[in-house]
A = this chain, B = another copy of it.
Amino acid sequence: MAKSAGVSIGYLAERTGLAVSAIRYYEAQGLVEPWRNAGGQRRFHRADLRRLSFVMVAQKFGFSLPEIHGFLKSLPGGRTPTKADWARLSEQFRDHLNARIETLERLRDNLDGCIGCGCLSLPNCKLYNPDDAVAQNGQGPRYLMGDRPSDLTKDGNRTPNDDI
């Protein structure tokens, strides 16, 4: 059970293709927890190679680093994902991915239904529904196309075709 010499950050960088700076950043985010050698340099477990690979795959599936942190913490003892862990986690991955695919398909279908409908001017346009937002940028616009519900009832004297 003696703690082996461990591997250097440069080794992990070379093996994973990650930049050294990225690995340090991941440490800052709590995704890996190296110890230090006598000279103050980071030493990693060999298993961190798998851990970092897991991070890379999870990122590819659209998870944020905090979410990935959550996955890793959810493992018994915070261990590096094993084959069995991976089988369980990959289900979550697929659900996540399916949800994203569905959102995009709904958006596409609404677009199809909107071609030639004069769309951009209609309050009842399906693209109007804010809940269907792709929502990949947290701070995007809150409404899609004017006419908040209260607007129409409050403002009586507009010439209908004057707007938009």
Identify the A interface with B (CB < 8 A).
14-19, 22, 46, 49-50, 53-54, 56-57, 59-62, 81, 83, 86-87, 90, 93-94, 97-98, 100-101, 104-105, 107-108, 111-112, 114-116, 118-121, 127, 132-134, 136, 140-148, 151, 162-164
A90 to B6, CA, bound (A): 55
Q: A18-B143, A60-B144 are in contact. List 5 more A-B contacts (CB 8 A).
A: A15-B163, A16-B143, A19-B141, A46-B163, A97-B111
Q: What are 23 A-B pairs with beta-carbon distances under 8 A?
A: A14-B146, A16-B145, A17-B144, A17-B146, A18-B141, A18-B143, A19-B141, A46-B163, A46-B164, A49-B163, A49-B164, A54-B120, A57-B145, A60-B127, A86-B115, A90-B111, A90-B114, A90-B115, A93-B111, A94-B111, A97-B104, A97-B108, A101-B101
**Contact (Cβ within 8 A) A118 B83:** yes
Please give the count of copies of this chain that the complex contains: 2
A61 to B110, CA, bound (A): 11
- Report chain B residues within 8 Å CB of A140: 59-60
Contact A87/B116 with A104-B97, A143-B17 known, Cβ cut-off 8 Å = yes
A163 to B111, CA, bound (A): 48
Contact A50/B116 with A100-B104, A143-B17 known, Cβ cut-off 8 Å = no
A73 to B141, CA, bound (A): 22
**Contact (Cβ within 8 A) B120 A57:** yes
What is the CB-to-nearest-CB distance from A117 to chain B, in angstroms, rounded to a whole number?
A: 9
